[in-house]
């Protein structure tokens, strides 16, 4: 245990400044500073506000993580940092910090993909990921199905959303129901008191003809519009909007599609492990439904605890740790931040 590499991870791709420390698959520290409250009144993340907040939070968050882990920068074997995808200015803060610490302490640095880190974080809770696995990646900016045959060197995208990401749909529907930003956790909470069968909302790209061309793809924009039309009709009629029922029915539609498509990908690829990552993986209904339906097909579902699903530094450290253990070479010190880093690039 003690001879496993000690890895520090830095995450600044969106509105969370995260610094995590792991040894092998063991989580030692996960320090987080969020600027979410500063964005709430705008109904979405404001890039300039996020960048400034990262600048202010990065050094204190770094200090907290090292203290929490009971280590010093000199003890660290490698520094991993999210190099993309994400907000350009926000990413730059983390990448510049990682380079500064790496030069100062003479440590190797790994520029990593935020989305691959959302998959790798599960190893902190459930140990090494059996490969091949299918990953369902559902965050505020992405919704994808991936075949993971080598998380250290590359993943194969099977499908993705053709319009809104799952988290984006949660956030937009929450907004039209008058719930705060980010909406996912609020919909999750409201839905607990609602009836998921109250309203039959559409399941995007699940009709027989769509399955031919878009078997592994998602679409949530039609669902979002259907919810908006339904709510508007109630308001026009002067009737109250049953928020818990709308939330539960919407959530049911999203989860139904995500779970069925993920399990279909597992069966299609002959894969027995499904790992779910990204902020939406914190959703209680998604977790329960995936477990339930996967069990019927003999498929094992791995989902990290909710606190590790949303953005954090531990996930970046987890991926860094996996890269080091797999013998992947570190990045060059002039590694760039790439706001549009493709899903297939695990590290740069
Ligand atoms: O992965 P993440 O923290 O940031 C990105 O990389 O985008 O994901 C944030 C997204 C937001 O859209 C948020 O509403 C959603 O994850 N989310 C949830 C829940 N918790 C966070 N969606 C549904 N249910 C939740 N419990
Ligand atoms: Zn994320």
Taking only the tens place, the pLDDT of each residue in 14-63 is 999 999 999 999 999 999 999 999 998 888 899 999 999 999 999 999 99
Domains within the chain, CATH numbers bracketed = 6-125+308-326 (3.30.420.40), 133-303 (3.30.420.40)
Evaluate if residue 282 carries a pLDDT over 90.
Answer: yes
pLDDT at residue 1 is higher than 80: no
Q: Is 222 annotated as a binding residue?
A: no
Q: Is 67 a residue whose pLDDT tops 70?
A: yes
> CB-based contacts of 345: which residues, under 8 Å, 6+ apart?
113, 154
Share of the chain above pLDDT 70, in %: 99
Mutating to test ligand 1, I would choose from 120, 165, 171, 279 the residue with most ligand atoms within 8 A of its C-beta, which is 279
Closest ligand, as measured to the CA of 15: 1
Res 55: pLDDT = 98
How many Cα atoms are found within 13 Å in the side-chain-facing hemisphere of 256?
17
Is the per-residue pLDDT at 298 higher than 60? yes
pLDDT of residue 265: 98
How far is the CA of 116 from the CAs of 130, 136, 138, 290, in angstroms? 15, 11, 12, 20
Provide the residues around ligand 2 (an ion) whose CB is within 5 A: 139, 311
Q: Is 140 in the pocket of ligand 1 (CB under 6 A)?
A: yes
2 pLDDT more than 80? no
Q: How far is CA 58 from CA 9, 18, 54, 159, 270, in A?
A: 12, 8, 6, 35, 43
Whole-model pTM over 0.95: yes
Section 311-333 average pLDDT: 98
Query: Are residues 320 and 23 in contact, defined by beta-carbon separation less than 8 angstroms?
Result: no
pLDDT, residue 301, reads: 98
Q: What is the pLDDT of residue 40?
A: 85
CB 85 near ligand 1, within 6 Å: no
Asked if 85 and 13 count as a contact pair (C-beta separation under 8 A), the reply is yes
Atom of ligand 1 nearest to the CA of 310: 3
Position 41 scores a pLDDT of 85
């Amino acid at each position: 245990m003690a001879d496993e590499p000690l890895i520090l991870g830095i995450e600044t791709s969106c509105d969370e400044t995260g610094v995590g420390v792991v040894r092998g698959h063991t989580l030692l520290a996960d320090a987080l500073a969020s600027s979410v409250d500063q964005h709430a009144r705008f109904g979405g993340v404001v890039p300039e506000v996020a960048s400034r907040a990262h600048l202010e939070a990065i050094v204190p968050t770094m200090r907290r993580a090292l203290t929490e882990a009971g280590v010093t920068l000199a003890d660290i074997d490698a520094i991993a940092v999210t190099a993309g995808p994400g907000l350009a200015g926000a990413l730059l803060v983390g990448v510049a910090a990682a380079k500064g610490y790496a030069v100062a302490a003479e440590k190797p640095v790994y520029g990593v993909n935020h989305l691959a880190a959302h998959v790798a974080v599960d190893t902190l809770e459930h140990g090494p990921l059996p490969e091949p696995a299918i990953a369902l990646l559902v965050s505020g900016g992405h919704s994808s199905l991936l075949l993971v045959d080598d998380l250290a060197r590359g993943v194969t995208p099977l499908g993705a959303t053709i319009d809104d990401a799952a988290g984006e749909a949660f956030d937009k529907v929450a907004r039209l129901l008058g719930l705060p930003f980010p909406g996912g956790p609020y919909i999750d909470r409201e839905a607990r008191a609602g009836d998921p069968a109250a309203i039959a909302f559409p399941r995007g790209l699940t009709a027989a003809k769509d399955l031919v061309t878009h078997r592994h793809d998602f679409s949530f924009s039609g669902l979002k519009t259907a919810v908006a039309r339904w709510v508007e009709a109630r308001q026009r009629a002067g009737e109250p909007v049953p928020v818990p029922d709308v939330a539960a029915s919407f959530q049911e539609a999203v989860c139904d599609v995500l779970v069925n498509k993920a399990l279909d990908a597992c069966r299609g690829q002959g894969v027995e492990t499904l790992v779910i990552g990204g902020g939406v993986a914190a959703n209680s209904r998604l977790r329960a439904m995936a477990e339930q339906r996967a069990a019927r097909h003999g498929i094992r579902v791995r989902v990290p605890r909710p606190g590790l699903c949303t953005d954090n530094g531990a996930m970046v450290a987890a991926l860094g740790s996996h890269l080091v253990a797999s013998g992947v070479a570190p990045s060059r010190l002039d590694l760039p931040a790439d706001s549009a880093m493709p899903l297939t690039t695990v590290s740069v």
